[in-house]
Amino acid sequence: MVTLAATAVGLVGLLVVNSIVVGNSTGDSTQTGSPTRADTATATPTPTVIKTEPLNPPPGRTTAPPAQRPVVYVGKTTEREATVAIALKSGRGVAYVCDGRRLEAWLTGTFRDDKVALRSRTGEHLVAAVGAKSATGFVTLHGRTLRFAIGVAGPPAGLYRSASRSRTIGWIVLPDGSQVGIDDDGTPAAAPRLDLGRRAASVGGVQVTARAITGDETF
């Protein structure tokens, strides 16, 4: 009987140990198994989106046009009654017409699509078509309509003006160097000769300075 009891206790102990070993093996296989697909997958990088400006500006955004270079036309009227100068720059224009003795007019205004329309404060007006080398049209001067076809003039030829509270002097310098102008201090008379190097003239012993008119002035 003692032998049988001892044998039974040994069998029970063997079964318990075997159960423990099997349980530990099962747990280890779960923890140390091969990695899953989710563990080995790498994240796909998100592409970078680069915004670019359109080649053409959108509606409402405009680029300012470049300023026009000044150009001056000078010459005699068709019947040589007077001399005309027209200066143009950036869509604006100034003209001066005079007979070199007592009649003159300063005119200002605009030009567009090669058409010039200028007016003086006293009602004279000038209309002309301008091109790369010449300007043709007409101007009214004290009730007379004078026609002209004049050419482009390079410096020092051009249009000059001196103005103060008491007098205004205008000069038109022609390509041959000759000058025509009026000195108006209330009693118009021929303008004194303008020193083009200094842009100065002497009036009654007093020196006055002149500036070249480019076309965008207002007076």
pLDDT-based confidence at residue 39 (cuts at 50, 70, 90): very low
Q: Which long-range contacts (CB under 8 A, 24 or more apart) does 46-53 make?
A: none
- With beta carbons less than 8 A apart as the criterion, state whether 215 and 88 touch: yes
Query: Residue 69 — very low, low, confident or very high, per pLDDT cuts 50/70/90?
Result: confident
Q: What is the pLDDT of residue 123?
A: 95
Contact 63, 86 (CB under 8 A): no
State which amino acid sits at residue 5: A
Q: What is the pLDDT of residue 64?
A: 33
For the residues 56-74, what does the mean pLDDT come to? Answer: 60
Query: Which of the two residues, 12 and 148, has the higher pLDDT score?
Result: 148
Q: What is the CA radius of gyration of the chain?
A: 49
Each residue of 95-134: pLDDT tens digit? 999 999 999 999 999 999 999 999 999 999 999 999 999 9
Pick the closest to residue 177 from 195, 190, 150 (CA basis): 195
* 22 pLDDT above the threshold of 60: no
At 43 the pLDDT is: 52
Structure tokens at 69: 């270079």
Residues 6+ apart with CB under 8 A from 85: 72, 73, 74, 95, 96, 97, 150, 153, 158, 159, 172, 213
Q: Quick one: what percent of the chain has pLDDT higher than 90? A: 68
What is the spatial distance between Cα 174 and Cα 158, in angstroms, rounded to a whole number? 7
Binned at pLDDT 50, 70 and 90, residue 140 comes out as: very high
What is the pTM (predicted TM-score) of this model?
Answer: 0.70
